[in-house]
Structure 1
Amino acid sequence: MGKTTRHEPATHEKARRLGEARRWLLARPYTAQELAEALEVHLRTAQRYIADLGAVPLDDRSRPPRYRLLTSEELSPVEALVTHSALRMLYHHAPGHNALYLEALLKLARRMPEPAQSVAIKSTEDLKRRLSHRLDEGDALGKVAEAWFRQQVLEFYYHKPGGSGQARRNEVEVYFIEVSRLNLGVYVIGYERGYHRSLRTYKLNRMSRIRPIGEERAYTIPADFDPRSYLSNAWGVVGSSGGEPVEVRLRFKKEAAYRLREGGYPDMELLDLPEGGLEARFTVGTDNHSFPLELLSWVQSWGPRVEVLEPENLRRRWLEEARQVLGEYAGEAYGDGGRDLSQWGGKVRP
């Protein structure tokens, strides 16, 4: 095959040989020795080409290993590990056994080299055994995805918590699918064209009788729809679909400050307090009653290490529920049949 000529610069020759090696590796997997023979170069030269091109070994335990190039659409082994870990976390929080997630986990596990591949596959089989008694929600996500990809209207019945108890029929043009940072639940964002005639957010496990209806390409996602903007004020996924966004101010004690400083909370401003605590300020979306409902459970999860300063309706609700808990269990807490709760209530600004 091509030999180096006396007048051909070495860098040009290397680039030409790398291009030739790339074509061979894209065609099929090769061992370093096979590639050396195909290119008529030394083994060490072929090994350098493999390294320079970023070729990866196949996951077939062959010895010597065979290498191939990943196309731009494929995941590298490390990318497969990152995706597998994220999907595994989502699977753990799924309310039902999700065959779609399970199959994706297996595919990602097979993209990892040994010994990680065997361990990841084993962990996936363990998930299948432990969750086989739960309902399968993979079909629901598949139908939502089908409608989104084909731009078909999605029909489903929705069980809204705290509502009448009756499921309401919806026809939605799906714009986006999001996973909540709070509960890792899957949510569908789209334009409800029947009753609400507005952009709405729906939790997947509250949807039933899901099916795409009508013709494909029945709608177009507006060019000005940007999920980043829609979700910018979302603490979970409600975002801009409810009331007007509100500014939240929380005061955290010193023992909670380290966790806030670790990050992971979007658009949160942290102000140092003299005693070592922090004041957190950020903006969140609200529901139709102008209440940041998604935020409440997160605030309550901090227990006595946080105080709500603003908005007033969140502070009032936080205090009311804290007093309810204390009222229920005051006798157990103090061992004296309870105390005057007004004293506890007076410890913080009402």
Structure 2
Amino acid sequence: MGDPERHETEALPQREPHSPRQAERLRRLEADLRVRPQTSRELAALYGVPLRTVQRDLQTLRKLGRGVETHAGRSFIPDPRPALGAVEVLTAHAALRLLYHLAPAHHPHAVAILHKLAGQLPEANRHLLDASVSAAPEPRGDDRTLETVAQAWNERRVLRFDYRQPGGEVERGNELCVYLLDIHRSTLALSVTGLERRHDHALRTFRLNRMESAALLPDRYDIPETFNPREHLTDAWGMAGATPPVTVRLRFTPDAAYAVLEGGYPQASEPLIYPDGSVELDLQAGADAGGVPHELLPWLLSWGARVEVLEPEPLRRHWLNELRLAVLRYDPEASRRGTDKPEQGSHAEKLLSLRQAT
């Protein structure tokens, strides 16, 4: 009897790759067939092409000697490469799945890697891991910027793009020699660091989801041997870069101390525990030119009245102003009572009492 899908494929006229788009699809098809068996219909849906196009591509790969096999209606390529261990697969899959679920843009490349990792486990476990990805929202990201950045880095070609600042204004015509790609720890946004040669002539970090009209220039560059990636990786609370990080000194109330003492905060000092149970802690955070680590602020505000910013003074002023604005916005009567006077018995009053006592 044989396999009907394979017979149907072999009956089609053979074509040689003749366009960059088809060549790229063949490359993806070969890689995907090494991950797991798939039907022609599944592959056609994955690539957004007609069924006959996929069948011709399968025939082309067979003609090129890529080792395509078909069983029970599913095509695959046996992959002789050594597999990762089960613990390695689960660890890598969990880390990448976190990025896929929580990042502001879900990229098809992440999905492809997740399936590759799952493909190294037994069928039952592979099915569970694949289901954990397919249950996520449909990809919302545009991978063209990521692909352009990756090509710029691989080929050492200058990247040109416009950049949308947080306030909405657009910085036109940046030209970047890409040195490093990183993921921001708190926002999970992809970021790239390199030498911006047109406006600043300095090392800068840009978020990919704020880039617009990314394109490659013919100009080539070399990454200096003096470039140290560790000095420019995203730190725990913001972007590392030309501006030195600042030391942020915090004091937590006793009812929040347990979370601080559990640890897990990078660039943090050893906690200082006071007799009343409050805890003092220093953090290193990337800051802007004014010395304010803006990307740390949402985390600080999430503690409410259970934390006090002691240093640096610019951050303390900014933090207090945010708290006062929140009170005035949602409790207009607070201005009559006095915004600097916490209500009796509140966490803010306890925090104030602790500070006055020391």
TM over 0.5: same fold?
yes
Deviations 1:138-162 (A, max 9, x none): 2221221111111111111100112
Provide the residue aligned with 1:267 in structure 2: 267
Contact 2:238 2:293 in 1 (8 A): no
Letter in 1 for 2:338: D
Structure 2 partner of 1:298: 299
Distance 1:298 1:110, change over 3 A: same
Give distance in 2, aligned partners of 1:104 and 1:248: 38
8 A Cα contact 1:231 1:238, kept in partner: yes
Measure, in 2, the Cα distance between the counterparts of 1:138 and 1:77.
Answer: 29
* Contact kept? 1:230, 1:239, Cα under 8 Å: yes
Contact 1:77 1:112 in 2 (8 A): yes
The Cα offsets for residues 264-311 of structure 1, whole Å up to 9 and x where unpaired, read as 222211211222221111332221222222211121121111110000
CA contact (8 A) 1:250 1:279 kept: yes
Q: Give 1:203 shift.
A: 0.7
Matched, 1:170 2:174: yes
Alpha carbons 1:158, 1:168 under 8 Å: kept:
yes
Secondary structure of the structure 2 residue equivalent to 1:102: helix
Correspondences of 1:95-174 after superposition (within 5 Å): 95-127=104-136, 130-132=137-139, 134=140, 136-162=141-167, 165-174=169-178
Distance 2:191 2:109 in 1: 16
- Contact 2:182–2:233 (8 Å) recurs in 1: no
SS at match of 1:96: coil
Which AA in structure 1 matches 2:212? Answer: S
TM-score normalised by length of structure 1 = 0.70
Q: Which runs of 5+ in 2 are unaligned?
A: 1-70, 72-78
Query: C-alpha separation between the residues in 1 aligned to 2:291 and 2:255?
Result: 31
Cα 1:107–1:151, aligned 2, differ >3 Å: closer, same or farther?
same
Kindly provide the CA deviation profile for residues 90-124 of structure 1, in whole angstroms up to 9, marking residues without a partner as x: 11223234111111111112122343211111122
Residue of structure 1 equivalent to 2:11? none
Instruction: Return the letter of the residue paired with 2:132.
Output: S
Q: Give the equivalent residue in structure 1 for 2:281.
A: 280
Counting matched residue pairs gives 270
Residue from 211, 219, 234 that aligns with 2:221: 219
Structure 1 SS opposite 2:286: strand
Of 339, 342, 350, 1:341 maps to 339
Q: Unaligned 5+ residue runs, structure 1?
A: 1-59, 61-67
Determine the C-alpha separation between the residues in 1 that align with 2:298 and 2:143. Answer: 27
Instruction: Indicate the residue corresponding to 1:12 in structure 2.
Output: none
Amino acid at match of 1:81: L
* Match in the other structure for 1:5: none
Q: Is 1:327 the counterpart of 2:334 in the alignment?
A: no
Q: CA offset at residue 70 of structure 1? A: 6.2
Specify whether residues 224 and 260 from structure 1 end up closer, same or farther in structure 2 by C-alpha distance, changes over 3 A only: farther
Cα distance change of structure 1 residues 226 and 237 upon mapping to structure 2, 3 Å threshold:
farther
| 1:36 matched residue in structure 2 | none
> What SS is found at the alignment partner of 1:263?
coil
Q: Tell me what 1:230 maps to.
A: 232
Tell me which residue corresponds to 2:31. none
Amino acid at match of 2:159: L
Q: Are the counterparts in 2 of residues 174 and 190 from structure 1 also a CA contact under 8 Å?
A: yes
Identify if the C-alpha distance between structure 1 residues 219 and 237 changes in structure 2 by more than 3 Å, giving closer, same or farther.
Answer: farther
Q: Secondary structure at the match of 1:155?
A: strand
Structure 2 length-normalised TM: 0.69
Once the two structures are TM-superposed, the CA of residue 76 in structure 1 deviates from its matched residue by 2.3
CA-CA distance at 1:338 after TM superposition: 6.4
Aligned-residue CA RMSD (Å)? 2.7
Q: Name the counterpart of 2:194.
A: 190
The aligned counterpart of 2:74 is none
